[in-house]
Structure formats: C-alpha cells, structure tokens
Amino acid sequence: MSGESVLAIAMTEPDAGSDLAGMRASAVEKDDHWVLNGSKTFISNGINADIVIVAAKTDPDNNPHHMTLFIVERGMPGFERGRNLKKMGMKAQDTAELFFNDVKVPKANVLGEPGAGVIYLMKGLAEARLLGAVGYLASARVSFDLTLAM
C-alpha cells in the first residue's frame, strides 16, 4: 500500500450492535492465513475505506471474548460492501454494511496479538462513546436554542 488510505473499524454487527460478546463474525486459523466470515453494519467510512480493521471471534466455542483484529484490504476476494446506509445526520461520512465470505487474511494482517482484540477494543470504546455523547448533547442544545428563538 502507498499514499493515503481511508480507514474503517468494523465492530458493530446487525444483531449485536456494539455488544462484543454478541459478535458472530469469526475467523479460523489455517496454515499461513485466517479465513474470515461474517457481516458488519453501521461502519463509518465503510464504502470508501481502503483498509478495514475487522473484529472477529477466534475461539467462539471455548471463549466468547477471544477476539482478534484483522486488517482487511480493498479488493481481497470475499470482501464485499453492501448499502450506503441512510441516516439523519453526518451525511458527508458514509455508513455501510460490510460482508466477509471466506476472506483469506494473511497472518501478517493480524493487528496485535491474536485473541487480545477485545482488550484493544474496550480501551477505546468508552472514550468513543463519551465523545459521541458530548457531540450529540451539543447538537441537541443548539437545536433546542434555535427552536426556542423562533
């Protein structure tokens, strides 16, 4: 890869939201790669992303919190983008569905330690939710003030 790339982080799933324990995407380790399967939804930059960091369970039968982060690149066979989802605000940023059907991810594309993905995600999730809440509250306040002034 060279030049600037658009990045997306794919954690949210159709039936689980951001509940990491409810995640269904999974990856199975093979000889020199992993095979990734599953779907993600409400992924910011999902349509335009050149690189997607995908969270998937890697030992779902024995440990629901054993997750690994995978770097999936544009054009990898089995990686497909779904709809650009409609939303009420932030229309300049695309929000997409992503699908992973037997995507062969090289072991070099594992981000961090296999199985430690939940730890990496939890470190940033609280901050991301707090930043979102502050922005949403600020938008609501401006909306209220503008309405009151009418």
Q: What is the CATH number of the domain that holds 103?
A: 2.40.110.10
Is residue 96, in this structure, part of any structural domain at all? yes
* Tally of domains in the chain: 1
pTM greater than 0.85:
no
Structural domain boundaries enclosing 127? 7-149
Please state, for a pLDDT cut of 90, what percent of the chain lies above it.
Answer: 55
| pLDDT tens digits along 73-105 | 999 999 999 998 888 877 778 899 999 999 999
Alpha-carbon distances of 60 from 32, 77, 118, rounded to whole Å = 21, 24, 13
Distance CA 84, CA 22 (A): 24
